[in-house]
Structure 1
Amino acid sequence: MIKTGVEVLVENDCFIAINKPARLLSIPDREGKDISLKKILEEQYGKGNIFTVHRLDRDTSGVIVFAKDEATHKQLSALFEGRDVEKYYVGLVQGTPFSDKGSIEEPIMEHPGKITKMMTHQKGKPSHTEYEVLEKFRRYTLMRFQIHTGRTHQIRVHMQHMGNSIVCDELYGSAEPIFISALKNNYHLSKKEDAERPILSRLALHSQQLKFTFNDVEYNIEAPLPKDLRALLQQMRKLKA
């Protein structure tokens, strides 16, 4: 771990791979008020020693890579842009998809009415997401995604298109958090609690794995599921059992 407690998955002289927590910006936003992962790394390694290779949405957790020099930045950026990186995500979606496996190739473009939103449209850029159902629950489904293109909000937009938006997705579905009481019929608050806290209140999407070859070395970088997603899955598995 680096000084701030952010988990380092892989580090060498060329790049650093971090397990990004949810709710943390990958890079500074336009206003620059909130802390970002890049800012945290720059404070430790120096401002000229951290370069953005790719990004994760603020509420998405998991594997993210930063380069440590310009040459590495150029090489890694070319790998990501050239689709030479295998990118896998795990997400919890609303309902149950029609098919347990499939491929979505709907083009994606910026929404004409909302700056921060994307949409599927025939005039959009080519976008390709493969999906697989991992586990089914009463109201939700755990899925694995492989993205072959890197469009903004790609998985979120494609899952909205399928009719199974990512859980707690305020842009493309419902921001409504998940409470234990909604899963259990006989749930009661403990005497110490004044009000029930949600077990999950952020986008249920996690960058699980990146696979690529850099300088003739094969990297397979994985990030374990964060505590909130693990806790929710544990509760739903208990109820299913």
Structure 2
Amino acid sequence: MERKLDHAVSSGEAGKTVGWILDSSLALSARQIRSLKFQPDGILLNGIRVRTDVVVREGDCLSVTFRETGGCLLVPAEGAVFVIYEDEDILAVNKPSGVVVHPSPGHYADSLLNCLEGQGFSHLHSIGRLDRDTSGLMVFAKHKAAALRLARQRENGRFQKVYLALVLGRPQQSEGTIDAPVGRMPGGGMRMQVCADGKPARTEYRVVREYKTYSLVAFLLWTGRTHQIRVHMAAIGHPLLGDPLYGTEESGLGRAALHAAAAALFQPFTGAPLSWEIPLPADLRELVPGEETLSALKEFARKN
């Protein structure tokens, strides 16, 4: 993967060094800058290779070329890949339930990344993860520079994802925030729990629709802990339907009823706002008759 980025030096940047521009204006990490130095066309000023201590002038064109080096160890695999957006820096896909994102024991050749490799998408960097059984939106960066910028957006709240879940019962409050640390359960394998010595975790929720024995709830995550939504909802007495770890499988779904439904972020280099929505998959839609749109999610996002 190769990505060239051109930057025109502004009047406010005149008199600064190339290194300052790379660090402050282009927001590159020290590691990325070091890597660019070793490439013949990694750092060019007006088409000429330069050192990072060179002083720039207004109107100069600073060019950097990012490359993902090294061979790919992923086994290409066949499989349906539902791409919903692609540009030079970002790939957004709709992940089906039952598919793991990364190769792992028992899934070295059938993960989502294996399928993407089979479609010609290599050296991808996932921005956040989804559990195997969680369906919905996933965003990948096509190179490390984009990955770094998107990770920073997640940290400062400019990259937001909204989830939909079916939870047991009806929460007493129609909306609220669960602010409770999450950590591993001793002897519990993959199970997590709310515990005083866990990592900070904050989940905002809003009830979208109530049914006889369960509710459709939208979630906005301010942290990204393992199983965060599942753990937080179980902690307040409303585990997800079909969740074998924190609730019960009696719903007949065969998986926890969780779907990554929408995301909003900014293109890492142009700054253009980007957003996508993915309707509920068929298995969850059967349990929410008439819920064909995500208008409730739009309202949820506007209020945050």
TM-score (norm 1): 0.82
Q: Is the 8 A contact 2:100 2:107 kept in 1?
A: no
Partner of residue 208, structure 1 = 261
Q: Secondary structure at the match of 2:286?
A: helix
Q: Spell out the pairing of 1:72-151 with structure 2 (5 A cutoff).
A: 72-151=146-225
> 1:62, 1:94 → 2: CA distance?
21
Q: Are 1:44 and 2:44 counterparts?
A: no
> Does 2:283 match 1:228?
yes
Query: Aligned equivalents of 2:117 and 2:124: distance in 1?
Result: 6
The aligned residue for residue 186 of structure 1 is: none
Cα distance, 1:78 vs structure 2: 2.5
Q: CA offset at residue 147 of structure 1? A: 0.7
Matches within 5 A, 1:15-54: 15-33=90-108, 35-47=110-122, 49-54=123-128
Stretch deviating more after TM superposition (53-62 or 27-36)? 27-36
1:46 shift after superposition: 4.9
In structure 2, the residue matched to 1:184 is: none
Q: Shift of residue 57 of structure 1?
A: 0.7
Equivalent in 225, 228, 246 of residue 154 of structure 1: 228
Paired with 2:104 and 2:248, the residues of 1 have a C-alpha distance of 24
**Structure 2 Cα separation of the partners of residues 54 and 160 of structure 1:** 22
Contact 1:90 1:143 in 2 (8 A): yes
- Note closer, same or farther for the CA distance 1:169–1:34 as it changes in structure 2 (3 Å cut): farther
1:56 to 111, 126, 130: 130
Letter in 1 for 2:261: Q
Matched AA of 1:5: A
What RMSD in Å do the two structures reach over aligned CA positions? 1.8
Task: Report the residue type matching 1:150 in the other structure.
Answer: G
Structure 1 position 8 matched with structure 2 position 86 = no
- The amino acid that maps onto 1:210 is A
Structure ID, larger Rg:
2
Q: Which has the higher contact order (CA 8 A, sep 6+)?
A: 1
Deviation digits for residues 182-233 of structure 1 (CA, Å, limit 9, x no counterpart): xxxxxxxxxxxxxxxxxx3221110011111122110112111111111221
Report how far residue 33 of structure 1 moved: 4.2
Is the 1:9–1:222 contact (alpha carbons within 8 Å) kept by the matching residues of 2? Answer: no
Conserved 8 A contact 1:87-1:148: no
Mapped to 2, the partners of 1:144 and 1:77 lie a distance apart of 23
Amino acid at match of 1:56: L
| 2:274 alignment counterpart | 219
Alignment check: 8 A CA contact 2:80 2:115 kept: no
Maintained 8 Å contact 1:25/1:57: yes
* 1:139-197 deviation line (CA, Å, top 9, x unaligned): 1111111111111100000000110000000011012233xxxxxxxxxxxxxxxxxxx
The offset of 1:60, in angstroms, is 0.6
Query: Which 4+ runs in 1 deviate beyond 4 A?
Result: none
Percent of residue pairs bearing the same amino acid type: 38
* Count of residues in Structure 1 that have an aligned counterpart in Structure 2: 212
